[in-house]
Amino acid sequence: MHKSVKSCFLPLSFLFLASPVFAKVELVPLVNANVVGGQYFFESEPASLGANVSVDAIPSIKFGDKLSLIPLVSFNYYGIKDVTELIGGGTLFQERQDLLGLAKLSFSPSEKLRLKADGSIKIERLKEAEGEIWGEGLFDYTKWQVGGEGELVAPVKTLESIRGGYKYYGISFNNYESLVAKYGDEFEELQQTPGARVLDYNVNEVFSDGSFTLSDRLLASYNFSLSMKGFPDQYLVDEAGSYTTDKRDDTATVYSGGLLGLLKETQKLKLTCGANVRLNTYNSTQNHYDVGRHKYIQDYYDYSEIRLAPTIGIYPQKPSVNVNISYSFAKRDYSARLVQDVDGNYGIDKIYILTNIVTGSVSYPVTKTVSLRAQINYLFKISNMKYEAVYRYNYTSMNCFGGVVLEF
């Protein structure tokens, strides 16, 4: 949907007429809305019944053929728990919502080169318990980000595109403060505390991705990112259980590659299949000291994880029911974290976690702007770690939902 936008204000009119870049301004509005209702299950027991709502407004503004501004306002409400939502500490959020504001400036000096700069801020609010007031959640956070990237479009025959860039962002948990900081008078014997805002961190990240045409029926892609994370107010713990004056620094890398193939294409049906392989590595300078058992574990958070995700897509050529089925398997190996039995006694083996996720989705376009959608997700985790008083390593979860998708 295109609209010619004419300014009714003299200063803006003068600016547009004075510069060839602004000689032609176009507004390309796009709004997406999703409303789905569904049920979440944990360990085969129904745990929550609710709805998810999301609205995205993207009023893209084109200043001629080379320059465009893409603002985005996005709101999401999640009343249906996600199958992967069980996090450190065993916390399951009852409800969550987020508001994102983003602006991206895109400049194309040639047909093959695109340069982009962006900035954004995201506010996420979470409810851990029924009746909790929005804005008072312990893990509520605010995230800001700035970055830039460059993209080459079809620089050679087999290369569809290649992109690389840099981003810097920070996350602040405004309601979270360590117990030592809250009740400092009771910990006067400590020469050094763990810090107050121990969850806050800042990240420098470089990334690159690209896609290739191997044949008329086979596409390949890759992704790489290197993230250097600093914790400005979290101090390291040593082998005596005391805190040093050094602060925590983490490094995360992601390597992934994928293939997407066209198995069959007729006048009635298009059938695709694909697979993605991803390797994650995570290294942290932070250690762990188990006060109750006087056990020190160095490099407690270090791990490597490999993930394999095959997928199948079924797309009728005429507007009809589209079906996607995917499965992902991941194995995470901690390099130093030791297994414990159900009573918490330490063994000698290192912890591993096996994660399986099965997803199936169906969508049906009713009109050009309205479609119906249903999805089911099932997850089960298996680990050799049996002590789960603090963190759940072994569990199953499932959710299913259906609703309406609007795009106009």
Q: Judge whether 8 lies within some domain.
A: no
Q: What is the pLDDT of residue 254?
A: 98
The span from the CA of 56 to the CA of 58, in Å, is 6
C-alpha distances (whole Å) from 366 to each of 30, 77, 172 are: 19, 24, 42
Q: Judge whether 18 lies within some domain.
A: no
353: closest CA among 323, 383, 387?
383
The whole-number average pLDDT for the span 152-177 is 90
Percent pLDDT > 90 in the chain is 56
Quick one: CA torsion of 128, 132, 133, 138, rounded to 10 degrees? Answer: -40
Map 286-320 to HEC letters.
CCEEECCCCEEECCCCCEEEEEEEEEEEEEECCCC
The whole-number average pLDDT for the span 44-48 is 67
240: closest CA among 301, 300, 287?
287
Q: Report how many domains make up the chain.
A: 1
The span from the CA of 53 to the CA of 364, in Å, is 19
Q: Which amino acid is at 130?
A: E
Q: What is the pLDDT of residue 2?
A: 39
Q: Judge whether 10 lies within some domain.
A: no
The span from the CA of 307 to the CA of 327, in Å, is 10
Sequence-separated (6 or more) residues with CB below 8 Å from residue 20: 64
Q: Quick one: DSSP state of residue 185?
A: G
pLDDT-based confidence at residue 3 (cuts at 50, 70, 90): very low
Q: Read off the CATH number of the domain in which 272 is found.
A: 2.40.160
The whole-number average pLDDT for the span 41-62 is 81
Q: What is the pLDDT of residue 1?
A: 41
Q: What is the pLDDT of residue 178?
A: 65
Q: Judge whether 19 lies within some domain.
A: no
Q: What is the pLDDT of residue 233?
A: 92
Q: Judge whether 24 lies within some domain.
A: no
pLDDT surpasses 80 at 81? no
244: closest CA among 191, 284, 197?
191
Q: What is the pLDDT of residue 92?
A: 62
Q: What is the pLDDT of residue 115?
A: 97
pLDDT-based confidence at residue 21 (cuts at 50, 70, 90): very low
What integer best gives the mean pLDDT of the chain?
86
Tell me how crowded residue 16 is: count the other CB atoms within 10 A of its CB.
Answer: 18
pLDDT surpasses 90 at 114? yes
Q: What is the pLDDT of residue 9?
A: 35
The residue among 310 and 23 whose pLDDT is bigger is: 310
Q: Quick one: DSSP state of residue 379?
A: E
The whole-number average pLDDT for the span 204-210 is 97
Looking at 80-94, 167-181, 274-288, which range is the least confident one? 80-94
Concatenate the DSSP letters of all residues of 210-271 into one string. EEEEEETTEEEEEEEEEEEEEEEEEEEE-TTS-EEEEEEEEEEEEEEEEEEEEEEE-SSEEE
pLDDT surpasses 90 at 238? yes
pLDDT surpasses 90 at 7? no
pLDDT-based confidence at residue 48 (cuts at 50, 70, 90): low
Please answer whether residues 284 and 302 qualify as being in contact, where contact means their C-beta atoms are separated by less than 8 angstroms: yes
The residue among 75 and 30 whose pLDDT is bigger is: 75
pLDDT surpasses 80 at 272? yes
pLDDT-based confidence at residue 176 (cuts at 50, 70, 90): confident
Q: Judge whether 23 lies within some domain.
A: no
pLDDT surpasses 50 at 355? yes
Q: What is the pLDDT of residue 77?
A: 94
pLDDT surpasses 70 at 164? yes
Q: What is the pLDDT of residue 18?
A: 39
The whole-number average pLDDT for the span 52-58 is 92
The whole-number average pLDDT for the span 69-78 is 94
Render pLDDT for 292-340 as a digit per residue (tens, 0 to 9): 899 999 999 999 999 999 999 998 877 788 899 999 999 999 999 999 9
Strand extents, DSSP E, 21-112: 25-28, 31-42, 45-57, 60-63, 67-78, 95-107
Q: Judge whether 15 lies within some domain.
A: no
Helix (H/G/I), strand (E/B), else coil: 149: strand
Q: What is the pLDDT of residue 319?
A: 72
Q: What is the pLDDT of residue 394?
A: 92
Q: Quick one: DSSP state of residue 132?
A: P
Q: How wide is the angle at C-alpha 237 spanned by C-alphas 253 and 330, nearest 5°?
A: 30
Q: Judge whether 17 lies within some domain.
A: no
Range of the domain at 147: 30-58+68-407
pLDDT-based confidence at residue 281 (cuts at 50, 70, 90): very high
The span from the CA of 398 to the CA of 43, in Å, is 8
Please answer whether residues 336 and 370 qualify as being in contact, where contact means their C-beta atoms are separated by less than 8 angstroms: no
